[in-house]
Amino acid sequence: MSVLNRKPSWQQQLRQTKAKEWLLSGHLDKFPIAEIQKIGDRVLKDKSPLLRKIAPRSEECDVLFANELLSVKGELGTHESAILSCLHLLSYAQARGQVLSIKPDPVQVDLFFERRLNIYLQCIIHSRRANPDVCSEEETSAARDCLGVSQGRTKDFPSILRLLEAVGYETCEAVLPLGLIKKVLTVSHYQENLTRELNTLKNARQWFDAYKLVYSLRNIVGLPRADQMLRDTFPDYPMWAAWRPDTKRIMSWESPNLAPYRSQLLAALDLEGPDTTGQQRGTLRMSSPGAFTGLSEPTHSTDRHILDRLLDVLDSSLAIGLATVDLLIALCVEREDVSERTLSQLEAAVSVNNDAASKVLANLVRVLSPSTKPITRMSAFASAVHILTQYPALRVPFGVFLDLGHRASGAFTAGQDLLSQCLTENNPDIEPVCSSVLKLGHALLSADWLHGQWQLDFIKFLRQLPTEDEIRPSYQSIQSQGGPSTNMAVQVGFLATRVGGAQVVISGAVAELARSEALAVNNETKGLRTSWKEAAEAIS
């Protein structure tokens, strides 16, 4: 036969395929397994005696290919492709032996270790297609996860956990020994990356994202090989493995309604996080009650019942809206009070399912501070009285518990005093102060459920309060006057008595102002004129 017409050797045919290229590049889906298997079939046919064919999976076939494979040993990519080309023709022992023969030694690490490792893992995966008996499904799955970690495509912890779960069984020891897996994890820097990521999520209390990283840890419990490996390389493993949060709860905490208040609720969010006390309970709130410090003083109750209710009401608040979450902040966080009383108040607010009402209640709680301005306090009390009148379920937790009847009537009286002062000093705040007093007075009058706490004279006074429309001309008249006048005195007296409750003799005030005006006219040439302040003092 002419040298030019000689058929290329099987080794040459194999090198002409892209099998080596795809092994080196790691493209599993492009590896030409069917093409190279045909090359293996031709080798068996061509190497068989003339009068008979060597039977596949026979001892003679195993010997034939064992010798043929020696011719490409050492050619990275080609040798492994050659093994895959004949796996379907070999006995189980010979086929598995050939695959295991290319397993890299994790102790003998050189510049090509990672490349040899990746090719070996691909061969395990491809062997499932070439000869399903060679490697088990568990071994193939573990090799696929290991390849993702080794190549850096899979940086997420769940894939590593699936890998550890697979190698946790003794059945994987031959194909993927612990030493090899440890080397893969070291190369991937998984411990540093995972620790950094979990610490970031833990500090932000982004529990749902953290849970997605570690939920598979529970599957490794009881698998000695994987369990011990994690304990050696991941110190917080027992804490995260024991974590059993309410997944619906921590998912709801990703709501935009929580975002503005997340930093203020960190201590509450910790309760559904992992047990950092070392007791390995399902959540922190399931551990010792004493582990919870952040929202309440040591003198306040922190038993499990209270903590469970706190998280329940937080979940309900998130479902209602931002203002209801803010009410929780106002009652529990800003006042550092997580107790039976505050939780009862929150539960009552949640029961009415009205975010606008929650906003009013949050304002009510905050204006109880002594530093609150009188107008702000009167406005908050007026709105709160209306809401409590509308929702009877709120009257005990917010009306009785906060002593609203006495506080509101006291704010009304203080507002009257402020109004009298403004009238005396011709203060430009006359209108807003007077308006606030009126609104609070009308709100108190409409709250007949509070009337039993007040004297009849007070209620009678509330009934004679004018409307905003009735007093608006008085504002306009006072503002339009350049100085003291009879008309101004009448308007000031009207506001002082009908709104401010002052006992003023209007006729006497008018007379005094008239005398002042006459005196001013007689002494005009001398530049003498009674000031508005002096005229106002006559009224007071």
* pLDDT of res. 55: 95
* pLDDT of res. 496: 80
CA 62 to chain centre: 60
pLDDT one-digit tens code per residue, 476-535: 777 666 555 566 677 777 788 888 876 433 333 333 433 443 344 344 333 322 333 343
How many contiguous H segments (helices) and E segments (strands) does the chain have? 28, 0
* pLDDT of res. 523: 44
Question: Could you give phi then psi for residue 428, rounded to 5 degrees?
Answer: -65, -10
* pLDDT of res. 257: 84
C-alpha span between 495 and 498 (Å, rounded) = 5
Q: Could you give the 3-state DSSP secondary structure of residue 519?
A: helix
CB 315 within 8 Å of CB 249: yes
CB count, 10 Å around CB of 67? 10
CB 367 within 8 Å of CB 402: no
C-alpha span between 520 and 326 (Å, rounded) = 58
* pLDDT of res. 225: 73
The number of residues in the chain equals 540
**Selection from 444, 434, 456 nearest residue 406 by Cα:** 444
From the number of C-beta atoms within 10 Å of its C-beta (0-12, 13-18, 19+), residue 428 rates as: exposed
* pLDDT of res. 32: 96
CB 179 within 8 Å of CB 186: no
* Separation in Å, CA 412 to CA 36, 301, 443, 463: 94, 36, 11, 14
* pLDDT of res. 202: 93
* Separation in Å, CA 476 to CA 471, 492, 531: 9, 11, 20
Tokens representing 329 are: 């902040």
Residues of the chain under the 50 pLDDT cut: 1-3, 291-301, 503-540
* pLDDT of res. 497: 83
* pLDDT of res. 518: 36
C-alpha span between 434 and 415 (Å, rounded) = 8
- What residue type is assigned to position 317 of the chain? S
pLDDT one-digit tens code per residue, 215-248: 878 777 777 777 777 777 677 888 998 999 999 9
* pLDDT of res. 255: 86
Tokens representing 488 are: 């101004």
DSSP 3-32: GGGPPPPHHHHHHHSSHHHHHHHT-GGG--
From the number of C-beta atoms within 10 Å of its C-beta (0-12, 13-18, 19+), residue 52 rates as: exposed
Ramachandran area for residue 247 (φ above 0: left; ψ -120 to 50: alpha; else beta): alpha
* pLDDT of res. 480: 65
**Structural domain boundaries in the chain:** 1-135, 165-242, 246-366, 388-465, 468-540
